[in-house]
Structure 1
Amino acid sequence: MTDIPIHKAVQQSDFGIFAKEVSPSSPNRMIDYTHRDNYYIFGMVESGTCRVSVDFKDCILSAGDVICTQPHQVHHIVDTGDAKALLLFIDGVFIDTPTKQILAEDTLAPIPFKLNDVQRSELAQLFSMILRRISEQENDELKTVLQNLSGAVVGIITDATRKMIGQQSKSRRHVEITLAFKELLSSEKQINREVSHYAESLHISSVYLNEVVKSVTGVSVSRYIQNELILQAKRMLAYTSLTIREISNHLGIDDYTYFTRLFTKAVGVSPTCYRKKYLE
């Protein structure tokens, strides 16, 4: 079994905050192999375009676009293109709970968005200050400055995210329930495909849970569960040597022929063909 590589904050910096500028002409390069991180990444494309994949969903980014990856999301650069980008890597200990909540909410139904000119200018200046100080000898005073500057970067991006979310007119109560459901789903070793299982854990009815999740994400609870199951299956097909039967069992589906039909219907190709295609 081959695990997806995971990068840790201490590998980048013993402080937990690191930043870099990447471009076709710079010695720094974007990491083009699939991996996970145990920290947050905030990125802004200054110019050009590139294509990234986050949890098997491709997205083309261009000048002004921002992206945030959550800890442990599977991602990689599909095509670096001619993009010039600024990246901030920051340990979750430096991000407060309300901010984490906003960033988690954005992942429920992510929509790419651009920063306005003022926000882009502010971020460019902050990144410039961070990059300059990171090259200096570390001391306690410098760490405090880096933490404050990084907090400002996160704050600008989070504020833009909050405004975008606010335009979607979603009930706060519905969002909170959906986030709680998502947390339950991701915390279990095996996915339970029964809607009632999660409704009971949240002390609400299955009908109400379905209404809530659909209002926030646009899909039913059953479809959301299925999407998570398919996502985990894709990860195991692409990055492990487990057999189809073993993957099916790992996902809590005893009948691997049923799993094969389910995967084929959702993805358009069988698990075997998907694995071959992905490894080409």
Structure 2
Amino acid sequence: MKKERINLIELSATPLGVLIAPMCASFMQTDAASEIFNAHRHDYYSLFLLDRGSITYEVDVQYVKMATGSLLIIRPGQVHRLLSLSDISGWVMSFDSKLIDQLAAAALERESPSISLITLKDEDISFVKDLLNSLWKVTQQTPQVDFQPQLLQALLNAVCYHVVNLCRQSLLVTEPSNSRQAQIAAQFSALVKSHNIKNKRPAGYAAMMNLSVSYLNDVVKAATGYSATYIIQQQVMGEAQRLLRYSTKSVKEIAFVLGYQDHRYFIRLFGKVCGMSPVAYRKTDHKSDYANRGTQFNADQLIIHEK
């Protein structure tokens, strides 16, 4: 049954800021086992590397099937739930993005698509497994040794940079020609995630960043291919879709939660961006055939296109 609100699971208090463990069929047998089968979201990144078996998730209304030799990244705030798993072996890791350096965080945010599911080559599987195994060993060191946090951070950065490269290879993404533009676009994206409820116009973000509106629009367009307004709308309407799908809030309540005092304006905007009314969207059967197309996705297939 749908819940009135989507549960947020926070990263357990740990001095290291990362949780990592070998993945096996028994890794679900915890106090939180029932929670992962219900729709929820995290305040941290999750990485799953599967070197045997299969796992099916629902991530932001898409059905995603991991097969042997695949890697999945779930972003902070994405609503997801476990649907099934079979004969699994691999690694699972959760980490706070604040633990990695700013360049790694910006690259991970910029380069990985809405749903990052990648099929790996054998050499990539071995390389990532070695990194994750080393990370795990560092977290198991007790008592804490000298430079343990620094070593952990270095290994985590290595994982993140390698994942970014894998995303680029699978989606044919190239490095933006202007690193300053990339930094501005990443900063804008982060601000939109934090302030989209109260600030829905590019001018507000331009003021926060001490930029002109026209320059911000030009930079965001050059770095992402989309306008600043489009990025803002995608963030807000993405959350609207999650609430329509995973909660029992009324359309009027959802509009208010997302910062719209006039719910009729929200309904019109949702229809423009998503191609149907909120009520029609809620009634739609969201099961898709993505899970049957293999494990490599194109980012454009997983984005809401403006009508």
**TM-score class, shorter:** 0.7 to 0.9
Q: 2:264 aligned to 252, 257, 268, which one?
A: 257
CA-to-partner distance for each residue in 1:23-69, whole Å, 9 max, x for gaps?
Answer: 5xx22238332222233322212134444344445544333332333
CA contact (8 A) 1:130 1:150 kept: no
Higher relative contact order (CA 8 A, sep 6+): 2
SS in 2 for 1:10: coil
Partner of 1:188: 195
Q: 2:11 is matched by which residue type in structure 1?
A: A
1:212 equivalent in alignment to 2:212: no
Partner of 2:155: 152
1:87 equivalent in alignment to 2:88: no
1:156 CA displacement:
3.3
1:169 CA displacement:
3.4
1:52 equivalent in alignment to 2:51: no
Give the length in aligned residue pairs.
Answer: 275
1:162 CA displacement:
4.5
1:161 CA displacement:
1.0
Q: Alpha carbon RMSD of aligned pairs, Å?
A: 3.8
Provide closer, same or farther for how the CA distance between residues 37 and 151 of structure 1 changes in structure 2, counting only shifts above 3 A: farther
Q: Distance in 1 between matches of 2:110 and 2:122?
A: 25
Equivalent positions of 1:47-196 (< 5 A) are 47-80=52-85, 84-92=89-97, 94-107=99-112, 112-128=117-133, 138-141=142-145, 144=148, 148=151, 151-152=154-155, 154-162=157-165, 165=168, 167-170=173-176, 171-188=178-195, 190-196=197-203
TM-score (norm 2): 0.70
1:185 CA displacement:
1.5
Q: Mean alpha-carbon deviation: is it higher for 38-47 or for 159-168? A: 159-168
Partner of 2:299: none
Partner of 1:28: 27
Identity within the alignment, %: 25
1:87 CA displacement:
0.8
Show structure 1 runs of 5+ residues with no match: none
SS in 1 for 2:27: coil
1:177 CA displacement:
1.5
Partner of 1:4: 6
> Deviating runs (4+, > 6 A) in structure 1?
none
Provide closer, same or farther for how the CA distance between residues 93 and 245 of structure 1 changes in structure 2, counting only shifts above 3 A: closer
Q: Distance in 1 between matches of 2:278 and 2:74?
A: 27
CA contact (8 A) 1:103 1:158 kept: yes
CA contact (8 A) 2:112 2:164 kept: no
CA contact (8 A) 1:8 1:38 kept: yes
